[in-house]
Amino acid sequence: MIKEQKEKIAGFLAEVVEGLSREEITGMIEIPPDTTMGDFAFPCFKLAKTMRKAPQMIAEDIAGKFAGNEMFSEVRNVNAYVNFFLNRPAAEADIVSRIVAEKEAYGGSGVGQGKTVCIDYSSPNIAKPFHIGHIRSTVIGNSLYKIFDFLGYDVVRINHLGDYGTQFGKMIVAYRKWGNHDDVVREPIKSLLSYYVKFHEEAEKDPALEDEARATFKKLEDGAPEEQELWQWFRDESLKEFNYVYDLLGIRFDSYAGESFYSDKLQAALDKMENLGILEESQGATVVNLEEENLPPALIKKNDGSTLYITRDIAAALYRHDTYDFDKCIYVVASQQNLHFRQLFTVLERMGCDWAKGCVHVPFGMVSLEDGTMSTRKGKVVFLLDVLQNAVEKTREIIREKSGEDENFEETAKAVGIGAVVFQELSNNRIKDYVFSWDKTLNFDGETGPYVQYTHARAASVLRKAPEDVAEILSGAVKPDMTLVNNDDTYRLMSLIGRFPDAVQEAADKYEPSVVTRHIIDIAQLFNKFYHDVRVIVDDKAERQAKLAVVIAAKQTIANGLALLGVAAPEKM
């Protein structure tokens, strides 16, 4: 709502300020660091020249012009600033009516209408474990999908599976040497991983294995049937396991076009680069020289003719642009791949794709383990599935202890356990590295998902006590008189609720779901204070309804925020 409020104030100011456009004025309006200085402030320094007066005088004059304006309880100048104090009950009533009208759409908008965004996220590697490192791309990408969707964009969810490349040469060689068919059927990823680990141990002693793996990958790439069959089998078994995790998280994709999908589209991309004359030979390999851009050359083809990760990404970007005509293509991938994406986007620009400026790498920090970094090659990983299952099990214990098993027991345990893991993942700035700790992940106190979910359930239980009042408010039949809950704490809570749409927009602008997470944590904290200090169910109907309106607004906003994070909001806990 900040945007709308600023625009309204700018409208008034434009009539009394000389030499500035309405847009310029809107851009100058500030939000003071605390509400004792008003809800908005307008600095007058810039006006001194055009209006030929001391800024403080100008501020005083302007403030005087607002006498009697009903949008404000007070407008006064402090030095060279005009400080605006909103008419609080009126502002609160605006927020309530907007929430009542929009309900689960509150916080969204239509800014993205007619625009398409592709989001490439999760994108795990076949035949390798879905470990705790992958959860970041998966949940950040899923949340960005929900946020952009909420803002009216058409979103295409793409899982760019790592189902191709030299590692499949290694996997096939390893399987043939040390593998066992029945083990793979029984425990696909764990077995395949153990062969992969063994391959790297053996290759340290016998480098010839690496050559064998390269040759095997080349065969696969050339379509040799036996290699193809093994590869297909690894892929199918792995996908089964990935889908199990996606189901638990409630995550879906529109496309599973992974790296292998582009194997028959590589030649066209190579031809295009060739025709543009941007390919160069370098020691038998083919590269795009990026010296001018101060980047190392992009290796497009190895000296044995096989293609690389970036080659497939070039073909994928061309394909996505052709197929979806996107405005933005967002890649949610670890910051270790910063260079890869700079090279990729630069090569696309060199190919004359001006749409490449719509390609965005959204990096995130690394997850390490308490005893060091994770390493697939060494088999040192924490499996995401184990994390999710342990979180649900711990939640079962807590609920059993607290309230026993009711009919929603399993459902709640799942919502809260998985919600805790996802919420934690989205609590911090995505770029921060972090150390995975079982204790922290399974700690449900403090600023956690369960805390926010519990706050939501608490609001729901208050509303269950006054169903008729709630129905009247939600139908819009009653406009609660917000002068009846007028105090500083309530106003602070309602302002935060009113700023939720701005937080959602900011999260999209920064590709940063944690903006939403932080915002709903703050709302939950202020709501809990309200719940503690204020008796909601009082005899006086008008007063009761004003208070219930605050509860309705808080509950709806928290629910909408949790939905954007991909976290469930149970009505009871």
Contact set with ligand ARG (CB under 6 A): 120, 123-125, 160, 162, 313, 316, 331, 333
Q: How far apart are CA 123 and CA 419, in angstroms?
A: 21
Residue 394 is among the residues annotated as catalytic for this protein: no
The whole-angstrom separation of Cα 94 and Cα 482 is 10
Question: In whole angstroms, how far apart are CA 524 and each of 39, 193, 407, 449, 518?
Answer: 21, 43, 27, 11, 10
For 291-317, give one letter per residue: b (16+ CB within 10 A) or e: eeeeeeebbbbbeeebbbebbbbbbbb
The catalytic residue among 134, 160, 394, 555 is 134
**C-beta of 122 vs 557, nearer to ligand ARG:** 122
| Nearer CB in complex with ligand ARG: 123/448 | 123
The minimum distance between CB 258 and ligand ARG, in angstroms, equals 8
Query: Residue 144 in contact with residue 362, Cβ under 8 Å?
Result: yes
Between 17 and 382, CB nearer to ligand ARG:
382
Active site residue 131: yes
Q: Is 30 helix (H, G, I), strand (E, B) or coil?
A: strand
Exposure of 494 in the CB half-sphere (CA atoms within 13 A)? 31
Separation in Å, CA 453 to CA 432, 472, 507 = 25, 25, 21
Question: Cβ of residue 308: shortest distance to ligand ARG, in angstroms?
Answer: 11
Closest residue by Cα to residue 386 from 169, 564, 190: 190
Residue with Cβ nearer ligand ARG (13 or 348): 348
Minimum distance from CB of 331 to ligand ARG (Å)? 6
Instruction: Report the DSSP beta bridge partners of residue 328.
Output: 117
Least separation in angstroms between CB 162 and ligand ARG: 3
Q: 371: Cβ–Cβ under 8 A, 6 or more apart, which residues?
A: none
Nearer to ligand ARG, 122 or 517 (CB): 122
| Nearer to ligand ARG (CB atom), residue 136 or residue 519 | 136
Collect all residues with Cβ–Cβ distance below 8 Å to 324 and sequence separation of at least 6.
116, 118, 156
The residue number whose beta carbon is nearest to ligand ARG equals 162
- Please, what is the minimum distance in Å from the beta carbon of residue 468 to ligand ARG? 53
Rounded to whole angstroms, the Cα distance separating 351 from 76 reads 58
- For residue 451, the minimal CB distance to ligand ARG (Å) is 32
- Of 311 and 455, nearer to ligand ARG (C-beta) is 311
Q: By the 8 A CB rule, do 147 and 561 touch?
A: no
- The contacts found for 181-187 with CB under 8 angstroms, 24 or more apart, are 184/233, 184/237, 185/237
Check 3, 6, 128, 532 and give the catalytic one: 128
Residue 128 falls in the annotated catalytic set: yes
Active-site entry in 3, 49, 115, 131: 131
Q: What is the DSSP string of 160-225?
A: --B--SHHHHHHHHHHHHH--HHHHHHSHHHHHHHHHHHHHHHHHH-THHHHHHHHHHHHHHTT-H
Closest separation in Å from C-beta 373 to ligand ARG: 15
**Residues marked as catalytic:** 128, 131, 134
